[in-house]
């Protein structure tokens, strides 16, 4: 078997804290599947770079000697700070970024490092960050989601959606993507299933609340524009074990062999046309449902949701409510251009 050097290094980096860890934890930290981790851990055991204790479900691994920790392992980040309890709680709950090396900068320590990397004073920047957090918190409804319909309606000629909710705002002004958006963005781009699950786990209760509050009787997931091995909405569907509502099948079928993804289109009219001509309802049961919850991952122009809502209503659905993992309340396009 040929072993990937980077995967071996990733496993050693996961054990760099010198603690004993289970294979599932190591696999998640390394961004690989459990079976793959088992094979690579066996290789490292043969090389005597790691140690093993226990067996079966109780097995754990430990780095044999600190000399085997890869040189490019990021150091543990521990900095003293002057944030009080409430300020620290805000940062611990809401702040997460990935830096240029892929290091996870989370919470108070992550905020300090981010500001240090950008030559900013964290104590001068924190009030701006807090103001955004407090503003958004005031806008969340009882389900913890943002109601985006009124703003969305200003940008479309023919509104087909009866409701539109975002689990979170995509961009926090100068601070870039929100915690949820950052995690979902990199999970989708890198096809990192564990990160997808972590990000989507943050919205499940919100989604459950919307489904119950809105009294929907069917769910539809927007089809992907780009073929990927792991689709974010497929992972979400697997995690939605709190509902047995039927799923309406939507498919993507481009009129020509040139498949143009939404993110490549700059003009709203082009996005509307793309969604209108490529998304189709392929389900004979549609007319049985009165209220459908239509779920998308990232909302840019909102064309996909609105045009799909039109098609659902054309086939007999009375009401369509849109839900997205993240979107900008001002409907700026940077979401679609990045994803």
pLDDT in tens, 265-277: 666 666 667 766 7
Residue 264 pLDDT > 80? no
Burial of 234 (0-12, 13-18, 19+ CB in 10 A): middle
Indicate the fold that domain 5-68 takes in CATH. Answer: Arc Repressor Mutant, subunit A (1.10.10)
Mean pLDDT of 32-51: 93
User: Measured between alpha carbons, how far apart are the two ends of the chain, in Å?
Assistant: 35
Rounded to the nearest 5°, which phi and psi values hold at 252? -110, 125
State the pLDDT confidence band at 77, using cuts at 50, 70 and 90. Answer: low
Beta strands 218-221 and 247-248, pairing class: parallel
The answer, as to whether pTM is greater than 0.75, is yes
SS3 42: helix
The confidence score (pLDDT) of residue 333 equals 55
- From 3.30.559, 3.40.50, 1.20.5, 3.20.20, which CATH number describes the 146-338 domain? 3.40.50
C-alpha to C-alpha distance for 90 and 296, rounded to whole angstroms: 28
C-alpha to C-alpha distance for 241 and 121, rounded to whole angstroms: 44
**Phi-psi category of residue 54: left, alpha or beta, with phi > 0 → left and psi -120 to 50 → alpha:** left
Residue 9 pLDDT > 80? yes
The domain ranges of the chain are 5-68, 85-139, 146-338
pLDDT tens across 199-253, in order? 999 999 999 999 999 999 999 999 988 888 999 999 999 999 999 999 999 998 7
CB within 8 Å of 66: residues ≥ 6 apart: 18
> 5-68 and 146-338 share one CATH topology?
no
Q: Are 283 and 248 in contact (CB under 8 A)?
A: yes
State the pLDDT confidence band at 29, using cuts at 50, 70 and 90. Answer: confident
């Amino acid at each position: 078997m040929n072993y990937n050097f980077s995967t071996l290094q990733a496993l050693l980096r996961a054990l760099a804290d010198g603690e004993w860890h289970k294979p599932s934890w190591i696999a998640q930290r390394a961004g690989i599947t459990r079976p793959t981790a088992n094979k690579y851990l066996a290789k490292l055991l043969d090389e005597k770079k790691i140690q093993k204790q226990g067996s079966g479900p109780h097995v754990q691994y430990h780095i044999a000697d600190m000399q085997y920790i890869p040189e490019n392992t990021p150091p543990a980040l521990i900095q003293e700070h002057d944030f009080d309890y409430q300020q620290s709680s805000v940062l611990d709950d809401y702040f997460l970024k990935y830096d240029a090396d892929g290091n996870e900068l989370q919470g108070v320590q992550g905020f300090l490092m981010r500001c240090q990397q950008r030559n900013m004073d964290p104590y001068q920047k924190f009030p701006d960050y807090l103001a955004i957090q407090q503003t958004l918190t005031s806008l969340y409804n009882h389900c913890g989601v943002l109601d985006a319909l009124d703003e969305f309606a200003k940008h479309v000629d023919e509104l087909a959606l009866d409701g539109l909710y975002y689990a979170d705002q995509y961009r926090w002004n100068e601070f870039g993507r929100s915690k949820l958006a950052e995690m979902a963005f990199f999970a989708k781009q890198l096809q990192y299933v564990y990160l997808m699950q972590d990000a989507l786990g943050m919205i499940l209760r919100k989604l459950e609340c919307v489904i119950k509050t809105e009294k929907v009787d069917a769910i539809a997931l927007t089809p992907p524009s780009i073929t990927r091995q792991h689709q974010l909405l497929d992972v979400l569907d697997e995690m939605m074990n709190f509902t047995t509502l039927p799923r309406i099948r939507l498919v993507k079928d481009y009129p020509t062999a040139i498949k143009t993804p939404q993110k490549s289109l700059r003009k709203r009219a082009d996005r509307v046309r793309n969604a209108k001509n490529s998304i189709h309802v392929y389900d004979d049961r549609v007319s049985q449902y009165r209220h459908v919850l239509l779920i998308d991952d990232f909302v840019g122009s909102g064309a996909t949701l609105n045009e799909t809502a039109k098609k659902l209503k054309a086939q007999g659905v009375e009401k369509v409510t849109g839900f997205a993992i993240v979107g900008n309340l001002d409907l700026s396009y940077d979401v679609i251009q990045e994803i």
